[in-house]
Amino acid sequence: MLTLHVGKNSIALAAHAALEEAGCAYDVAWVDLAAGDQHGAAYQALNPKGRVPTLITPEGPLTEVVAILEWIAATQAPHLMPDTPWHAAKAREMMLYVAATMHVAHAHRFRGHRWTDDADAQAALTAHVPQAMAACAAHVEGQLTGDWVGDAFCVADLHLWTVARWLPGDGVAMDGYPKLRALCDRVAARPAVARVVKLHG
């Protein structure tokens, strides 16, 4: 049995939705991020980074959402990764951009302490979030050419959708990015995704 450790409305939502889309058997272990459960000894034993998600597999714990999404597609739901080299590469290209650039830009809103101890610098990082996230959204908008990131729905769509959900809270109106908004609406309308969203509240 797989066990996914998740925090509500965190990046772990993408992995949670992928497991639900896969239709495989899994358990959910909720990590109360606000209470600091991710820093407790029990969770640190699974993921010393103290972040979510963590997926417990028969081979052991797996961390980092991109790795987890890739593993789910490879072992539980091959249809969640494109089967042509080009479209698979484009899906990975998007996931790496979302993880390395867009998610990081969002994190500056709350977690400037990861980059600097200077309070003024942290405030500057936070103030820059709307501009940085708008630039990310504009880049993604320019990359979208069809209904999905690849030639069909895949884990890259779940990853992008999860981070795009944060845009309004980051001060970025989705109306300016019609292709991205339409993709997010298509993802949110999927029954498996809707079931998971209800659990995250």
> Residue 138's pLDDT band (boundaries 50, 70, 90)?
very high
DSSP structure class, residue 28: E
- CA–CA separation, 141 vs 151, rounded Å? 16
Which of 145-148's residues contact partners 24+ apart within 8 Å by CB, and which partners?
147/182, 147/183, 147/186, 148/183, 148/186
More confident residue, 1 or 110: 1
Question: Could you report the per-residue pLDDT of 156-194, keeping only the tens digit for each?
Answer: 999 999 999 999 999 999 999 999 999 999 999 999 999
Strands (DSSP E) contained in 13-172 are 26-30, 54-57, 60-63
Instruction: Walk across the sheet containing 26-30 and list its strands.
Output: 26-30, 2-6, 54-57, 60-63
Residues above pLDDT 90, as percent of the chain: 88
> Residue 75's pLDDT band (boundaries 50, 70, 90)?
very high
- CA–CA separation, 191 vs 57, rounded Å? 25
- pLDDT at site 110: 80
Q: Are strands 2-6 and 26-30 parallel, antiparallel or unpaired?
A: parallel
Q: What does residue 184 show for φ and ψ, rounded to 5 degrees?
A: -65, -40
- pLDDT at site 124: 73
- pLDDT at site 112: 66
- CA–CA separation, 135 vs 114, rounded Å? 22
Query: DSSP of 91-123, one letter per residue?
Result: HHHHHHHIIIIIHHHHHTTT-GGGT-S-HHHHH
Extract the tokens encoding 36. Answer: 């600091």
